[in-house]
Amino acid sequence: MDMEALLSYRWGAMLPEFIILVVATFLSLLDLFARKTWNRKWFGYIGVVGILLAMISLLLLLNEPPVSILEDTFRLDGFAKAFKLLLLGGAACVMVLASSYEPKEGLTYRGEFYYLLLTALLGAMFMTSSGDLITLFVGLELLSLSSYILAGIRKQQLSSNEAAMKYVINGGIATAITLFGMSYVYGLTGSTNLLEIASQVTFLNGRAYEGMLSLAFLMMLVGLSFKVATVPFHMWAPDVYEGSPIPVTAFLSVISKIAGFALLIRLFFTIFANAPAKEMTTSILESMQGYIGLIAGATMIIGNLVALQQQNIKRLFAYSSVAHAGYLFVALAALSPFMFDAIWFYFLAYIFMNLGAFAVIQLVTIASDSAKITTFSGLYKRSPFLAISMAIFLLSLAGIPGTAGFIGKLNIFVGALSVSSTHYVLVSIMIVTTVISYYYYFTLFVHMFFRPSYESAQIKKPNGLLVSIGLCACFTIILGIVPNIAYTFFFEQFSGFTDFFS
């Protein structure tokens, strides 16, 4: 490629990624050359500024037409813009958590803590914009490798070492299975470009081709199910969530999950929605709905039932995260016309209610040096603001009307029921398991408001974290009362992802 061709590309489409890359590089060099006596907490504030600048640059690109550069390996379409906004908004909240994270034993590698969060974010952003199997895989690995290190960054803690080891082993297996599935697609089509693959698979009709593509689909589904922690590929999640620092746990439960679903959608709806099956009467994706539905049902049931037994708050939220992955898989299994907007809105609500809850968890658990649920006993008397905010987040996670979580689940219900009567089974499971989740969410509610406090330690409340908690609580209520604000923005700015296949 000559210089003239290189300069002809519309590099402005990658401006948000360039900003995150520059800030991450700057922080790594600053950490390398700065004195050890410097307070690295300021790195977190620089990271927040960098993320906000990247978000502003992305907002300036919203009205731009779809852009495809570098031989269609990088796409900036409505889908990429929508999910990048979620990733950047969630990452800004996580970076605020990281800036306020002060464990009792201290954090030796605080500088690495911040720029590794940024490199993980960069990988997630590339996953949403990738138009090629190679760049998809590079983005996935950048996210994964950074996450492995972050999970074990508290090197003096055995639980953190265990979390990193289990995450690396399970993540490596998942990556290998995903890559194996991708290799079949490449072998059948001779291309790694997603749009080129989509045009090629339409001509691959016959039992042999259908069998190979079905096998590729199942391997990718299994590998990516590890990434988003669905049953039975979820066993790493409780231990990794428990052993990781709380900002990392929050990152894995929200940012990593958003990126995993973005990758699932980008792959499956570009490739397998076009691949013919059953003598060209349907597509591979539609023929595999049963498998996706099976994973969704098992994930909702096991995630919620096992959560009932948890006494550790981080493990409880790990299984809660598993259950929410199941709810999102219901939308994938239904393949309704409302699927894209339902998933996007659910993640928007999930960012506010889950990251807000983790912010409260961080303040309470660090003050008491314990992650047991009983440490929340009497929280209302110790800090009414934190208790009321946490109550709002729990109500939303449980799907109580008047909150963003309720609207998110309602959209998935309606979407599933509008397509086929066979989805009544999945919707019934979703309703029953949602009711089951009331027990463990309201158990925490009871501890905060109706149990005497067993802790006398003062809760330190950094101003930045309090502002984040307040904003998350406000948006959780606003989106529950007037969700049309988000939906109007979605359809006006992203056109319902109509440019997804172009």
What DSSP string runs through 347-361? HHHHHHHHHHHHHHH
Whether pLDDT at 191 is above 80: yes
* pLDDT score for 287: 87
Structure tokens at 427: 């919707």
Whole-model pTM: value is 0.93
Whether pLDDT at 116 is above 60: yes
- Reported confidence tier of residue 154, pLDDT bands at 50, 70, 90: confident
* pLDDT score for 103: 74
Cα separation, 245 vs 228, in Å, equals: 19
Radius of gyration of the chain from Cα atoms? 22
Q: Which long-range contacts (CB under 8 A, 24 or more apart) does 204-210 make?
A: 204/275, 204/276, 205/276, 205/279, 205/280, 210/275, 210/276, 210/277, 210/278, 210/284
| Amino acid at the residue 163 | A
Candidates 183, 351, 214; CA nearest to 288 is 214
Instruction: Tell me which of 484 and 9 has the higher pLDDT.
Output: 484
Structural contact between residues 394 and 442, judged by C-beta atoms closer than 8 angstroms: yes
Give percent above pLDDT 90 in the chain. 50
User: For residue range 16-25, what is the model confidence (pLDDT) as tens digits?
Assistant: 999 999 999 9
Burial class (CB in 10 A: 0-12, 13-18, 19+), 146: buried
- Reported confidence tier of residue 3, pLDDT bands at 50, 70, 90: low
Structural contact between residues 308 and 442, judged by C-beta atoms closer than 8 angstroms: no
User: For residue range 39-75, what is the model confidence (pLDDT) as tens digits?
Assistant: 777 888 899 999 999 999 999 988 888 888 888 888 8
- Reported confidence tier of residue 305, pLDDT bands at 50, 70, 90: very high
Structure tokens at 194: 């997603």
CB atoms within 10 A of CB 467: 11
Average pLDDT over residues 81-105: 88
Cα separation, 58 vs 67, in Å, equals: 13
Q: What angle do CA 93, 82, 172 make, to 5 degrees?
A: 70
Cis amide prior to 232 (ω within 30 degrees) = yes
> How far out from the chain centre does Cα 392 lie?
21
The rounded mean pLDDT for the chain is 88
* pLDDT score for 422: 67
Instruction: Tell me which of 6 and 196 has the higher pLDDT.
Output: 196
Structural contact between residues 153 and 113, judged by C-beta atoms closer than 8 angstroms: yes
Candidates 396, 351, 381; CA nearest to 453 is 381
